[in-house]
Structure 1
Amino acid sequence: MSDSPHILVVDDEEHLAIGIKFNLEAEGFQVSTAGNGPEALALLDSAQRPIDLIVLDLMLPGMSGYEVCEQLRASGNFMPVLMLSARTLTEDKTRGFDVGANQYLVKPFELEELLSRIKNLLAQHRHQQQMEIARPDVTEFEFGDAKINFKTHEAKVADEPIRMTQLQLKLLKYFIEHEGEVVPRSEILENVWELPGHVNTRAPDQVLRQLRKAFEPDPANPVYFLTIRDAGYRFVKGNPDATIADKAGQTESPVAPSEPIDSTDSD
């Protein structure tokens, strides 16, 4: 039992939370429950055993499931999140994926489907962790005027410190680890956001725009973070002159407004 995954069920409908807990425990999982967002976030910090996955209801009192997931990702926690909701509109699902949910299950649902999704998410996350262990770790990196220390989460451009979120650092590190390669959008969704590659979300575009604004001499004409038409993205560290051919084949599509990476001087 001590080696079984620890799942946090967050739902203000007590009878539903108890029912999910009972069935998950019958499958051998360890389960904790919370009735609201603040309680869930507190449990994540204080649990004696680390939590491996969250089953998160969308409509919570005071603090929505969107907000809980957003805070979780902003803190650098990328554990799997399975969002539950009676809302069936595409925009509700899309917003869930945009804030970092891995899957979205509509209520009412079949128990077998819930269990299958949970097991699948845990297996995917375990595989991702194994891949990260096997991959050579990048702790420091320099390109252009930028210096990044991933161990201390510090970044500077022209010796001026800038503030970066955990998600921005994670995407930047993934680009650096695949320097020179064309990385498909689906691969970024799977390995950085830990979402299915087919999910329709603009989140990668928004974070890429933030990286360009922070690190490119001219964000409108990028030389480091390239978009390759119909293929994906490519990070190029070297001589900007060597990227002319790439720039001829790249295209930019408009993205929704997003929070830029700030200089610490603006605080």
Structure 2
Amino acid sequence: MVEKVLIVEDDLDIADLVRVNLHELGIQTEHLADGQSAMLHLATESYSLLLLDIMLPNVSGLDICRHVRQHHPEQAIIMLTAKDSEMDRVLGLELGADDYMTKPFSVRELQARVRAQLRKVQLLRGQIDKQAQDTYFNLGNLHIDLAGRQAKISTQVLDLTATEFELLHYLAKHPNKVFSRSHLLESVWGYHHSGYEHTVNSHINRLRAKVEHDAAAPQIIQTVWGVGYKLNALGLS
């Protein structure tokens, strides 16, 4: 199956650079230069991955990300940001972006990050298609439906993005085991790149806000200072 990526970028030189280098990987691309066109397009078309610039005419990439997450929480999204816009990058992650890249970026890194997101998309398809596989995972009062891509604590359904779901599932499969940020970045996101471990921090914080009674004093997803994070099985009893 040929993967399709939508590039929403108003800088035509950057859009051409992305398009050419994704075509080298055998990936089909489409390009739109403004946010309003992208919103209308996404109402009728689906893509394996969205590459969204933050600063767009008419509708910002952040607004598109927020809208897509509300209607298609499983959609893979990479945000493209200016090098000095740290707050935009943080907000993009808070709104549900799976990853981000700062401009200017290297071709090799672009290809690696896109491949990593597409591997996750392919894995998701494979999990859904596996009929014979046990599709349920339970740990205490945490219940994960792998085929339905749904997680619940007791009877409360958790509103998770695709990356949050994968992160929770990975931690739950290894209860009480401590993982470093770099290990989680490699195991859940599919790559390791020095300097991007705070992507894990942002997703952990968002996940805590959804699973904890008090995110400021977490009992389920805990920090082990100087090491990383673990899922405390006793917090799910």
Percent identity, aligned pairs only, is 18
Figure out how many residues of one structure are paired with residues of the other and give that number: 221
Q: Is the 8 A contact 1:17 1:33 kept in 2?
A: no
| Distance in 1 separating the partners of 2:212 and 2:146 | 18
| Distance in 2 separating the partners of 1:117 and 1:104 | 9
Q: Is the 8 A contact 1:185 1:197 kept in 2?
A: no
| Distance in 1 separating the partners of 2:194 and 2:117 | 14
- State the TM-score, normalized to the length of structure 1: 0.62
| Distance in 2 separating the partners of 1:184 and 1:78 | 26
The residue type equivalent to 2:159 in the other structure is T
| Distance in 1 separating the partners of 2:195 and 2:18 | 30
Of 27, 30, 34, the residue aligned with 2:28 is 30
Q: Identify the residue that residue 124 of structure 1 maps to in structure 2.
A: 116
| Distance in 1 separating the partners of 2:35 and 2:78 | 14
Instruction: Give, in angstroms, the shift of residue 80 of structure 1.
Output: 4.9
| Distance in 1 separating the partners of 2:180 and 2:168 | 15
Of 84, 91, 94, the residue aligned with 1:88 is 84
Q: Report the RMSD for the aligned CA atoms in angstroms.
A: 4.0
Instruction: Give, in angstroms, the shift of residue 221 of structure 1.
Output: 6.5
> Could you list the per-position Cα deviations for residues 152-208 of structure 1 after superposition, in whole angstroms to 9, with x for gaps in the alignment?
426253xxx324212354432222122232122333345446685632354212322
Stretch of structure 1 that moved more, 63-72 or 94-103: 94-103
- State the TM-score, normalized to the length of structure 2: 0.68
Q: Identify the residue that residue 160 of structure 2 maps to in structure 1.
A: 166
Contiguous gaps of at least 5 residues in structure 1: 242-267
The residue type equivalent to 1:88 in the other structure is D
Contiguous gaps of at least 5 residues in structure 2: 128-132
Structure with bigger gyration radius: 1
Q: Is the 8 A contact 2:6 2:51 kept in 1?
A: yes
| Distance in 1 separating the partners of 2:181 and 2:22 | 36
| Distance in 2 separating the partners of 1:148 and 1:42 | 33
Q: Identify the residue that residue 130 of structure 2 maps to in structure 1.
A: none
Q: Is the 8 A contact 2:53 2:80 kept in 1?
A: yes
Of 174, 178, 185, the residue aligned with 2:174 is 178
